[in-house]
């Protein structure tokens, strides 16, 4: 029987869909047991000493038993990782991350490239259902995780105002994360239409939503605007694309930019003029303001065209980013590099 142990700290595992690491860990934990090795299901445990290999999901340091093959999966969103990580990561057998941009950051910081492997995230298409946009009386733009400085809600708001001023036929919603829930029903059209702190045609939402409510918020809006300075994978535009939503985003960090090729914000690598709440060594993705304005105008003026094209791309996204297939590919790659014994049982665990 092939075995694999997964681990993430309890605060991460229990953070539900409010936190990207928690959401993706729980998806991996759900789909890894569907992986087949020699035609048999992979036996997946939580922090199990019986497994010869453990995948720790989250920032270093990782948690492992001494006898285990040690894989740490962590994402990063600038061109170099923190100096404090380098020594820790060099002690692990492999480092997995979710896109090429992040993998390059680890290698650029001195980690052996043979240790670094990409395990992209998938999408739950039963949850993130499609919805044709541009069907309502106004065009509504959405920015998610607006309290995170590197997501550049400030640029999204300035560009929106430059493009549409106070025209009530256009709205921008800035959705902030890690806020208390008010208990209202965000699947209600009336709540979606009116709730939040409004300043003319721009509003802020400061509360956590359930996953179902978050999908409703995406469905209610027509265009995602995302001038991010960098993502370790980028769940927010990824989930928008899965619903058939037109996406305007930076893309130097992005491994799935072929799903929004006409609406990529011009950008370059450089030093940011904003301060995040953690250190980001190296360079980040700097979005061009004029490009952002032009794309918001373009998509708003041709919303039917961009909505139709976005809906057509969903079928291809489903083929490429189904969670079980991605997990199968990650395990097949691990076995291909190290042989089937890498998923063996450790018989000395009782000692």
Q: How far apart are CA 254 and CA 201, in angstroms?
A: 30
- pLDDT at 215 > cutoff 80: yes
- pLDDT at 18 > cutoff 80: no
- pLDDT tens digit string along 61-104? 999 999 999 999 999 999 999 999 999 999 999 999 999 999 99
- pLDDT at 182 > cutoff 90: no
pLDDT on residue 200? 98
Burial environment of residue 205 by CB neighbours within 10 A (0 to 12, 13 to 18, 19 or more): buried
pLDDT on residue 351? 65
- pLDDT tens digit string along 121-153? 999 999 999 999 999 999 999 999 999 999 999
Contacts of 66 (CB under 8 A, 6+ apart): none
Contact 335, 37 (CB under 8 A): yes
Q: Which two tokens stand for residue 44?
A: 């997946």
- Confidence band (pLDDT; 50, 70, 90) for 14? confident
> What domains are defined for the chain?
3-122+322-343 (3.40.50), 139-320 (3.40.50.2000)
Mean pLDDT over the full length of the chain: 96
Contacts of 128 (CB under 8 A, 6+ apart): 215, 218, 239, 242, 243
> Model's pTM, two decimal places?
0.95
- pLDDT at 186 > cutoff 70: yes
Query: Rounded to a whole number, what is the largest CA-CA distance in the chain?
Result: 71
pLDDT on residue 348? 81
- pLDDT at 310 > cutoff 70: yes
């Amino acid at each position: 029987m092939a075995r694999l142990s997964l681990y993430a700290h309890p605060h991460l595992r229990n953070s539900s869909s409010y936190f990207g690491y928690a959401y993706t860990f729980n998806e991996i934990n759900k789909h890894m047991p569907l992986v087949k090795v020699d035609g048999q299901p992979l036996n997946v445990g939580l922090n199990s000493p019986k497994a010869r290999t453990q995948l720790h999901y989250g920032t270093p340091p990782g948690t492992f038993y001494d006898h285990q093959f040690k894989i740490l999966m962590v994402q990063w969103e600038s061109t170099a990782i923190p100096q404090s990580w380098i020594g820790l990561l060099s002690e692990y057998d492999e480092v997995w991350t979710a896109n090429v941009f992040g993998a390059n950051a680890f290698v650029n910081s001195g980690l052996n490239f043979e240790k670094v492997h990409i395990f992209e995230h998938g999408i739950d298409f039963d949850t993130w259902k499609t919805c044709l946009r541009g069907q309502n009386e106004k065009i509504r733009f959405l920015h998610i995780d607006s309290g995170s400085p590197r997501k550049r809600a400030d640029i999204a708001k300035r560009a929106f105002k430059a493009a549409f001023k106070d025209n009530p036929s256009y709205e921008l919603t800035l959705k902030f994360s890690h806020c208390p829930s008010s208990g209202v029903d965000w699947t209600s059209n009336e709540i979606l239409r009116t709730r939040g702190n409004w300043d003319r045609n721009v509003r802020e939402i400061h509360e956590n939503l359930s996953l179902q409510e978050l999908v409703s918020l995406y469905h209610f809006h027509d265009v995602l605007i995302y001038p991010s300075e960098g993502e370790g994978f980028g769940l927010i535009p990824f989930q928008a694309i899965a619903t058939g939503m037109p996406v305007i985003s930076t893309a130097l960090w992005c491994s799935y930019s072929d799903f929004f090729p006409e609406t990529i914000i011009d950008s370059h690598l450089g030093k940011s003029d904003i301060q995040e709440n953690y250190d980001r060594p190296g360079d980040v993705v700097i979005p061009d303001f004029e490009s952002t304005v032009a794309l918001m105008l373009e998509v708003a003026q041709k919303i039917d065209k961009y909505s139709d094209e976005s809906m057509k791309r969903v079928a291809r996204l489903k083929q490429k980013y189904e969670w079980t297939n991605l997990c199968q590919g990650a395990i097949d790659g691990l076995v291909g590099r190290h042989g089937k014994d890498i998923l063996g049982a450790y018989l000395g665990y009782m000692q």
